[in-house]
Amino acid sequence: MSKIGLIIARELKSKLSNKTFIVMTILAPLLITGFVAFMIKMTQSEKTEQNVLVLDESKLFRDKLSGNDYVSLTYSNQKLEEAISQFYGKGFTCLLWISPTIVEGGAGATKLFYKKSPGFGFQIFLKDQMEKIIYESKLEANNINPDIIMNSKQNVRIMLEKVNDKGDTQEQGGFGIFGFLSGALMFVFIIMYGMMVFRSVMEEKTSRIVEVIVSSVKPFELMLGKILGVALLGIIQFAIMGIITFGLTTALSSIFLKDATSQLKVFEQQQELVKKNGTNVDLSKLEKFDDKLELFDLLQKIEKINFVEVFICFVLYFMFGYLFYSSIMAAIGSAVDSEADSQQFITPVMLPLMVGYFIATKTITDPDAASVFWASIIPFTSPIVMMSRISNGVPLWEIVLSLSVLFASFILMTWLASKIYRTGILMYGKKTSWREIGKWLFYK
């Protein structure tokens, strides 16, 4: 066993001393969280100050458009040509021109002239207001009280509650996207580390060191040491990436979502109050969060995810799924002389992973479909598909069954792979076929 230890240590050291690996491990979570934070930031409102001159020829919007902390509006009755020619001399950043025919619609009925390109958020800000004003004016023109329309609109939020065989109900996280993301992550990791094993095996074969090594250790020990070495590497990488990502998201969310989380608390307290006292509560005294409901929904769903369960399952599925696939990859690496020859073997191995990935996308819309169930039992797809289901709540027996099948399959696969491996690593110059590999299984 100590020899396997040596092999694991070498494998680990050779990868850890690789600069690309270190840079990737640290950079990847920085980039991803940075990118997500950037996207969130971008969707929030623009902070550029806008000083807008409004030329409203329709006479519909005068004093009805409102500014905010960053946007100030000035109305004028100037002619458009005149205003444009004087535009640069004055302190306005934009010139909003509204044609008399705005109510009939059509392109070019509203124009925004600018010096520096105005942000998308700012355009939406103006557009939304204008649409609302036109909407209300049309209602008025038809003698409809806008309040009636407003009051007839009601947001609907569906709460999921699962009923178990004892008749207890339980609120569900039901957060498809999160599940899919963990499935996709599993997909990426299995491929990434599988390829690492493949390359490492092929490197030893092509550099011919392998013959020296198998004269000291059994080929099976070498293969196992290599696979375990890369697995250990994966765990180290997980840990580093996990800590960085956790730290970053905590820091970023405390900056960006500080208001939202405190508002959510108030919102939840109010909900409790309404639940307890029924309609006796004076609703008008409560704070209104109509525009925040979607964000609250998201935050509540995240809070409901059982991260411990997800994490444990992820580690278990990664370990077994990785061992399963990496033994196939080790066998392939031993059978080929160059990466170019390997395509015909790697493609069929990638295929079930791809299928798993596509079934995982299905779990967002239809988490209880039969295909989803079977794909989360069959070992070729189960790590990906089961991970994408797990945050939705999966019965324990399914997880146990799926893990046992995966475990048994990895033992079988490692055994088969070792038979191919010990013959493959010593075969040179011959182009290997599937038929050939089949024969190797029966060599003594």
Partner 1 sequence: MLRIHQVTKKYSSHLALNDVSLTVNEKCIFGLLGPNGAGKTSLIRIINQITGPDSGEVFFKGEKIAQKHVEKIGYLPEERGLYKKMSVGDQVLYLAQLKGLSRQEARKRAAVWFEKFEMAGWWKKKIEELSKGMQQKVQFIVTVIHEPELLILDEPFSGFDPINAQLIKNEILELKKNGATVIFSTHNMGSVEELCDNIALINQAQKILDGSVKEIRKTFKSNTYNISFKGQAMGFVNALWAGAEVINKRTEDGIHYYTIKALNNLQPNQLLQAVLPTCELLSFNEVIPSMNDIFIQKVNEGNANIQINNHFTE
DSSP letters of 372-404?
A: HHHHTTSTTTHHHHHHHHHTT---HHHHHHHHH
The answer to whether residue 426 forms part of the interface with partner 1 (CB under 8 A) is yes
* Single residue of 217, 232, 295, 378 touching partner 1 by CB under 8 A: 217
Asked whether position 302 contacts partner 1 by CB under 8 A, the answer is no
Distances, alpha carbon 79 to alpha carbons 54, 56, 61, 86, 97, in Å: 11, 10, 17, 11, 10
Dig out the tokens for 101 from the structure: 């025919």
Q: Is 127 in the site for partner 1 (CB under 8 A)?
A: no
Residues 304-333, mask of contacts with partner 1 (x by CB under 8 A) = ------------------------------
Q: Which of 214, 330, 332, 437 binds partner 1 (CB under 8 A)?
A: 214
CB of residue 199 vs partner 1: minimum separation in angstroms? 12
Q: Among 83, 126, 210, 417, which residue interacts with partner 1 (rule: CB under 8 A)?
A: 210
Residue 162 or 208: the one with the smaller Cβ distance to partner 1 is 208
Q: Of 214 and 359, which has the nearer Cβ to partner 1?
A: 214
> Taking CB under 8 A as the rule, does residue 444 contact partner 1?
yes
Binding flag, residue 107, partner 1 (CB under 8 A)? no
Minimal CA–CA distance to 43: which of 117, 121, 118, 119? 121
The residue within the footprint of partner 1, chosen from 76, 90, 439, 441 (CB under 8 A), is 439
Contact map string, positions 153 to 182, toward partner 1, x by CB under 8 A: ------------------------------
Q: Does 419 bind partner 1 (CB under 8 A)?
A: no
**Could you tell me the smallest distance in angstroms from the CB atom of residue 200 to partner 1?**
10
Residues near partner 1 (CB under 8 A), total: 27
Determine the interface stretch with partner 1 among 7-15, 241-249, 347-355, 365-373 (rule: CB under 8 A). Answer: 7-15
- Half-sphere exposure in the Cβ direction for 52 (13 Å, CA): 26
Q: Which is nearer to partner 1, 90 or 218 (CB)?
A: 218
Are 195 and 349 contacting, i.e. CB atoms less than 8 angstroms apart? no
Least distance to partner 1 from the beta carbon of 205, Å? Answer: 9
Question: Considering the complex, what minimum distance in angstroms separates the CB of residue 5 from partner 1?
Answer: 10
* Residue 1 sits in the site that holds partner 1 (CB under 8 A): no
Q: Which residues contact 65 (CB under 8 A, 6 or more apart)?
A: 54, 73, 126, 129, 130, 133
- Phi and psi at 155, nearest 5°, equal -70, 140
Beta strands in 65-142 (DSSP E): 71-76, 94-98, 110-114
Does residue 207 bind partner 1 (CB under 8 A)?
yes
Among 42, 103, 209, 298, binds partner 1 (CB under 8 A): 209
**Please, what is the minimum distance in Å from the beta carbon of residue 209 to partner 1?**
4
Our finding on whether 213 is near partner 1 (CB under 8 A) is yes
Among 208, 258, 265, 288, binds partner 1 (CB under 8 A): 208
Give the Cα separation of 264 and 439 in Å (integer).
64
Token pair of 406 as six digits: 């995966």
258 binds partner 1 (CB under 8 A): no
Q: Which helix (H) or strand (E) holds 266?
A: helix 258-277
Shortest Å distance, C-beta 207 to partner 1: 5
Of 155-163, 207-215, 231-239, 312-320, the segment contacting partner 1 by CB under 8 A is 207-215
CB–CB of 193/326 below 8 Å?
yes
Q: How far apart are CA 241 and CA 344, in angstroms?
A: 33
Examine residue 10 and tell whether it contacts partner 1 (CB under 8 A).
yes
Pull the structure tokens for residue 94: 């934009």
Which residue stretch of 67-75, 180-188, 216-224, 365-373 sits at the interface with partner 1 (rule: CB under 8 A)?
216-224
Helix 343-365 and helix 382-390: axis angle, to 10°?
20
For residues 100 and 88, give the distance between their C-alpha atoms in angstroms, rounded to a whole number: 25
H and E: helices and strands count for the chain: 16, 6
For 77, phi then psi, to 5°, come to -105, 15
- In the complex, what is the shortest distance from the CB of residue 348 to partner 1, in angstroms, rounded to a whole number? 23
Binding of residue 215 to partner 1 (CB under 8 A): yes
Least Cβ distance, residue 26 to partner 1 (angstroms): 22
The single residue among 14, 172, 263, 270 that binds partner 1, judged by CB under 8 A, is 14
3-state secondary structure of 278: helix
- Cβ of 151: how many Cβ atoms within 10 Å? 9
Q: What is the number of alpha carbons within 13 Å of residue 380 lying toward its C-beta? A: 12
The residues of the shown chain that bind partner 1, judged by CB under 8 A, are: 3, 6-7, 10, 13-14, 203-204, 207-219, 422, 426, 428, 439, 443-444
